[in-house]
Amino acid sequence: MYIPEEEKHSPQYKFALQVVERLRSEGFQAYWAGGCVRDLLLNRKPGDYDVATSARPEEVRNIFGNKRTFSVGANFGVIIVHGPHGSSDIEIATFRNDGAYIDGRRPESVIFSSPEEDAQRRDFTINGMFFDPVEEKIIDFVDGEKDLREGIVKAIGNPLKRIEEDKLRMLRAVRFTATLEFELDEKTAEAIRNLAPEIHQVSEERITQEWRKMILDSHREYAIELIDSLGLLKEIFPELLYGNDSFEKHPGWERTCTLFRLLHKYDATFEVTLALFIGSLFIPDEDEANDLNRDKHVSMTAGKICRRMRLSNNEKDEICWLLLNQNRLDKASEMPLCDLKRSLSHKYFQPLSTLIQVSLEADGMDDSSLQFCLDFIANHPESEINPAPLVTGEDLIKMGMKPGPKFKETLNTLRDSQLNLEITSRDDALELAKRLNSN
């Protein structure tokens, strides 16, 4: 295996090599394992380095010291070793066989074993190889190197058994296949189709984690087409299926794929990408047919989905706001100046503009309204678009006003008048406040 000199001199590579050398100096077998081996063979920089060893967890802690190590799963033979400054921690796992998987995610017990047996219990052949960084050679008991050359994601051993053990492997198979631009082994694919309804044994957080990685990758279109063909997408987003057998039959599916195909041209966030996905596939009921009701109801549906996916409140709020306001700028040049300025200064304007740009391109529509907004921003300073309020609630209280509906209405009117350039000074604002409350 050729490893670039630049990588060999990286702090993480050096630390991972030192960990293996230290374990070997104590008489144990030790190799790099899993994804880092795959990435190195693909000439990609590994995201992290994992080590597999014959040393037991307590022996690993004795070697590296209790202060530098902590257990994340000692029962499963996993110890974390803190890295020096400039490098990340490294996970060290003892070679093992897994016992029965009773919850579709984790083995009930493990038996410490040999490298050959450890490789057989891993998920996919391309992730089942070891690498000896001292002698710089591959240790491959599962034909992973061959499948990597041929561009195939294949379960190790019996595909049905591998997937039954850990249902998250269904989504990982999709992600690896899509992000690596590989093909999914047909027997592995068939096992996933058979077990797709059991994806719910996996926590929503882990499902969301895999989904996030898929749709933020440039191969997101391939990912959603594959995940739908395997019967997983309808399990994850049942609210959007609307009675179809698969999303491929959904009237919004072609547009969704087009949106995902275009997203590589934009610096789209997870929130924008998920909002586009939900918005494109949402079909309103008959009483939600007009645009106003549609945006309201798709926003409500998105809120339910976000909560189920265990997204943060900030993520949920942004996605719902984007969908509620996706048509907000359709006639920007005709908007009252105060409404335009409020829209352009909103904290989610940048993601909204991205969502609108992608949508307009996908639909082959004119972008003059959005361009009007962008030109307005370019030609007006922030202090003019979003100036500091001329008066505050404290000023109104000093004038004798009490908080309440009238109080809020007055503040809003004063702000609108300021943004419309109808009042330009604090004295103007105070005078207007007096007039508003003298009636």
Distance (Å, rounded) from C-alpha 128 to C-alpha 397?
A: 69
Q: Give Cα 38 distance to the centre of its chain.
A: 22
Short-list 327, 328, 302, CA closest to 316:
302
Q: Which fold has domain 151-236?
A: Hydrophobic Seed Protein (1.10.110)
For the chain, the domains span 1-150, 151-236, 266-386, 393-436
The string over 142-179, giving b where at least 16 C-beta atoms fall within 10 Å of a residue's C-beta and e elsewhere, is: bbbbebbeeebbbbbeebbebbbbbbbbbbbbbbbbbb
> Which H or E run includes 228?
helix 220-229
Q: Two tokens at 285?
A: 């009921």
Give the count of beta carbons closer than 10 Å to the beta carbon of residue 187.
13
What are the backbone dihedrals phi and psi of residue 87, each rounded to the nearest 5 degrees, phi first?
Answer: -135, 155
Short-list 260, 262, 263, 266, CA closest to 247:
260
> Which H or E run includes 160?
helix 159-165
Distance (Å, rounded) from C-alpha 42 to C-alpha 97?
A: 28
> DSSP secondary-structure letter at 83?
P
**The residue to which tokens 């959005």 are assigned:** 370
Short-list 171, 229, 178, 233, CA closest to 203:
171
Residues 6+ apart with CB under 8 A from 72: 78, 79, 80, 91
H runs (alpha helix) in 284-401: 291-308, 313-324, 337-344, 349-363, 368-379, 382-385, 393-398
Q: Two tokens at 17?
A: 């090599």
Distance (Å, rounded) from C-alpha 151 to C-alpha 145?
A: 10
Distance (Å, rounded) from C-alpha 350 to C-alpha 230?
A: 35
Q: Using an 8 Å Cβ cutoff, are 252 and 283 in contact?
A: yes
pLDDT digits (tens, 9 = 90+) for 192-229: 999 999 999 999 999 999 999 999 999 999 999 999 99
pTM of the model: 0.90
For residue 101, the model assigns a pLDDT of 64
For domain 1-150, is the CATH number 1.10.540.10? no
In sequence order, what DSSP letters do the residues of 119-137 get, joined into one string?
HHTSSBGGGS-EEETTTTE
Look up residue 240 and give its amino acid: L
Q: Using an 8 Å Cβ cutoff, are 263 and 358 in contact?
A: yes
The ranges of the chain with pLDDT < 50 are: none
The string over 209-227, giving b where at least 16 C-beta atoms fall within 10 Å of a residue's C-beta and e elsewhere, is: bbbbbbbeeebbbbbbbbb
